[in-house]
Structure 1
Amino acid sequence: MSQSGAGVVEVRDLHGRSYRVGERPHDIMGHSRRWMLWLTWVAMAGIGVLQYGYGVAVAALDTANASGAFWVLALWVVFQAGAAAPTAALSHRLALSPPRAVLLGAALCAAGPLTLAFTDSLVLAILGYSVLSGTGAGIVYATCASTIAKWYPEQRGIRVGFVTGAFGFGAVPFIALFAAFLTPSNRAEVFAGVGVCILLVVGACGALLRDPPSGWWPQDIDPKVWAVDKRVNRSLAHNVRAVRQFPPGEAVRTPAFLVMYLILVIAAAASLLAVAFVPIVAVHQGFSLGIGALAVGLLAVVNGAGRSVAGRLSDRFGRRKMLSAALLIEGCAQLGLVYSVSIGQAWAFVVFAALSGMAGGAFYPLFASLVADYFGEPNAVRNFGVVYSAKLFGGLIGVGLPALLVSSHGLLTAFVVAGLLSLLAAVMTRLIHRPGLPKVCLPR
């Protein structure tokens, strides 16, 4: 134990992790840490339309080049997911502050809808929406998740799940707007309004964000007790602790990382397939655009709810078990969507879309917690940024490749494949083993 300032003490637990104890949130920023919780929630909600509202917008505009339009979204996912790891690294190495990062991200995010408002060029749409807006969304997403993880180190999975859940909730009003009012004749006004809304809401919240000091810990919880006492830290009963701390360069060379990465590629691809193409499938199979919008809107809502609930359930039942359950539900939901279309039942289509959304939201906070459990808390933000980059391959597989099937009405085949791969990924979770344990060889 060492003294690092007036009233501030550095404490180490038996695992060697260091904690900065003695400062209240009011001492640091003049507010409770719930202030940061809701600011990050609103900022995250502001960018959700860029992912969850896109498919409804394409269906409402009845775009002639639907395949090209969905490749714009696929590349948006590539840049959104690809920006997460660099943002975490810049925040760690160059002390990039949350206000600067989120203000930059807000401006880049707004460029996407504004570009679609005033051009029909596919090249400009890729530049403005995919590259600029995707990068901005990745910066906002990574910064908000990182900031709230630092303010709630004792509830990392639960709070990160709550904040990232806003990514789905925030899209719902825009989904309803697109389904009810968006037409080719008012596209410029609607998309321009969306862009301005994103800029103002996300920028205003971002300007008020602040990180706590490195290693900060709430003073009302004894970190040495929290690290070992299952009555205080209930997640210890069903989850493992890292053998040692793994920086990103070491984590990526472990078998556990490779298995996690592959599973996230599959899970992200299946989730994004539903997000992007549920409205198109609804229209192509004889359901109305209203049914498609209802399905993807409910998908977005329960996606957010799934993220919020997953962390709490994983503390009680174990993260690996909950990840398997989420992937199992995802696979069954994808196959259920195909079945509901085959029997022409719109209500079943909506229900299975919702189940897909719930599972598709749950695995992101589960992975965030798994990364902390397996590779250590101090490097959890940077390590998860690297794991999260698997989503970019999920975007290419789950949005880009199926986009080639839109004109031939072959999307149902993609849903079947995604369902089967999700079931396979559910089994693969048994291959995730804690890295760093000594190998024990039995005598012959």
Structure 2
Amino acid sequence: MDTNLARTRWIQLGLGLLAMMAISSPQYVWTLFTKPLMATTGSTLAALQWTFTILIVLQTFFSPVQGWLIERFSPRLMIAVGAALSGLGWVLTARVDSLLGVYLTYGLFCGLGTGIVYVGIVGLMVKWFPDRRGFAVGIVAAGYGMGALLTTFPITDMMTASGYRQTLTVFGIILGIVGVLAALGLRAPRPDEALPAPASNLVTTAHDTAPREMLRTPLFWLMFVMMTMMSTGGLMVVANFASFARDFGVADAIIFGFAALPFALTFDRITNGLTRPFFGWVSDRIGRENTMGIAFALEAMAICLLLVFRDNPYAFAFLSGLVFFAWGEIFSLFPSILTDTFGTKHATTNYGFLYMAQGVGSLLGGPVAAYIYQGQGSWIPVFCIAIVLDLITATLAYFVLKPMRRNWLGAGEAPGLIAKPAMG
């Protein structure tokens, strides 16, 4: 690979990271706006939280359509549109006074916009980095997971000084412009650009499988079920984190000079971001399924230890970070193994279908966990279910997904690049 091409793809990675950071705030700082929006709309918290549900549903369940639009037109155009929609959602939310208005601005515009950018950026990175697919996807996924770290405190300060409407307007414009400018520098690799081949230890395909054909394969649905279980189990813990911290009596304990809950939340956000490129990098070297088995089992162990030492605030903070570290890598491992298996031509649309598993997990994880807690009066059954889901998925990765992929690719025991005969 020549020097110019090498530089070009790293620039693409940097622009993708910047675009992902620009669209992370609508999801991760939503909680900062709930109190003033409740006062403005006169709604209850439960009613207002449907805004967040709408955002997640549109971001995930519409991702196949968003992926198709990106491949039908151009990544540059559609990702720029997505970034603009995300920023516009904030600007318009600042100008509405009704609950329906919040649904149609923050929920609708930010949901569609962030979904387009997320799926589009991941689709580009798996094409630009066939040799470092896990690492590259992990980097941009980390940008989405950690980008709000840069905006949380400035947004909090501006809300105190100028109110939430001014804050939404200013940051909506800034984040929208940053995302659009980053998108305008993006492009897909050209057919004549000779990118490095995948590492010899990775089992990949030279054949591109179209979405319709992919959806007919048991292999895709195994990946979908596995990602759904990991999303559900992880979100059972993530979505109810503050609640069980209070029940365990550690939320307000002081550690390292800080209250345990906000300290843990900050630490968790960092580990949730760092895990994505780390385990992506590991998977580029030892294989996707092997990495999945290790990471998913690590999460089961971390949740188990968190349950055992739940009364110790220091252990609570450290182990919660370990839980997030062992969970967030699903956003680098699953898109990488999907593209390894079904090719790069339809990678964006194909991942759009798989990304719907995150939507299923978001609908099941939080509400199901809360329902179980309400019925049992304890978080222990919730933790146990998450541990079981982790262990099942780790087992499936090594003992079922790995041989199924080899069989699908016709690889037998031989690693490397495997061409599969064209289908249909």
- Which residue matches 1:236? 200
Q: Relative to structure 2, which stretch is displaced further, 297-306 or 186-195?
A: 186-195
The corresponding residue for 1:417 is 385
Q: What pairs with 1:209-288 in structure 2 (closer than 5 Å)?
A: 209-214=186-191, 216-218=193-195, 221=196, 226=197, 233=198, 235-237=199-201, 239-242=202-205, 244-282=207-245, 286=249, 287-288=251-252
Please say which of residues 136-145 and 123-132 is displaced more in the overlay.
123-132
Q: Compute the TM-score of the two structures, normalised by the length of structure 1.
A: 0.77
Matches within 5 A, 1:399-410: 399-402=366-369
Matched, 1:76 2:39: no
Q: 1:209, CA displacement in angstroms?
A: 2.0
Describe the shift of the 1:236–1:22 C-alpha distance in structure 2 as closer, same or farther (beyond 3 A): closer
CA deviation string 1:365-418 (max 9, x = no partner) = 211221123223443333222211211111111234456689999683544433
C-alpha spacing 1:411/1:110, structure 2 compared with 1 (3 Å): farther
> Which of the numbers 287, 290, 293 marks the counterpart of 1:321?
290
- Name structure 1 gaps, 5 residues minimum: 1-20, 227-232
**1:32 paired to 2:8:** yes
Which whole-Å CA distance do the structure 2 matches of 1:203 and 1:410 have between them?
47
CA shift in 2, pair 1:320/1:395, >3 Å: same
Distance in 2 separating the partners of 1:358 and 1:86: 30
Distance 1:272 1:112 in 2: 25
Residue 436 of structure 1 corresponds to which residue in structure 2?
Answer: 408
Q: CA RMSD in A?
A: 3.6
Measure the CA separation in 2 of the matches of 1:180 and 1:410.
Answer: 38
List aligned pairs for 1:362-401, cutoff 5 A.
362-401=329-368
Aligned mate of 1:135, from 112, 125, 128: 112
What residue in structure 2 maps to residue 46 of structure 1?
A: 22
1:205-238 deviations in Å (ceiling 9; x for gaps): 12222223246323xx5xxxx4xxxxxx5x332x
Cα deviation, 1:139-195, whole Å, max 9, x if unaligned, reads: 011122222333333322221211221111211133445677867993334444432
Structure-2 residue corresponding to 1:100: 77
2:156 pairs with 1:188: no
Paired with 1:362 and 1:152, the residues of 2 have a C-alpha distance of: 17
What's 1:296 paired with?
265
Residues 85 and 386 of structure 1 are in contact (CA less than 8 Å); yes or no, is this contact kept in structure 2?
Answer: yes
Contact in 2 for aligned 1:56/1:293 (Cα 8 Å): no
For 1:130, what is the secondary structure of its paired residue?
helix
Note the C-alpha offset of 1:299: 1.9
Matched, 1:426 2:397: no
Code of the aligned partner of 2:204: R
Q: Matches of residues 159-198 of structure 1 in structure 2 within 5 Å? A: 159-176=136-153, 186-198=163-175
Q: Alignment partner of 1:216: what SS? A: coil
Aligned length: 398
Q: Distance in 1 between matches of 2:97 and 2:323?
A: 32
Rate the CA distance shift 1:425–1:295 in 2: closer, same or farther, 3 A.
same
Quote the Cα distance in structure 2 between the aligned partners of 1:406 and 1:50: 28
Q: Percent identity over the alignment? A: 26
Give the aligned residue type for 2:408.
G
After superposition, give the CA deviation of every residue in 1:331-370 in whole Å (9 maximum; x if it has no partner).
33344444454x1x22222222212222222122211221
Letter in 2 for 1:436: W
The answer for unaligned runs of 5 or more in structure 2 is 253-257, 413-424
The residue type paired with residue 272 of structure 2 is: N
Structure 1: how far apart are the matches of 2:376 and 2:287? 40
What SS class does the counterpart of residue 204 from structure 2 fall into?
A: coil
- Bigger shift: residues 109-118 or 366-375: 109-118
Distance in 2 of aligned mates of 1:81 and 1:23: 37
Which residue in 2 is equivalent to 1:361?
328
Q: Which amino acid aligns with 2:353?
A: V
Equivalent position amino acid for 2:287 in 1: G
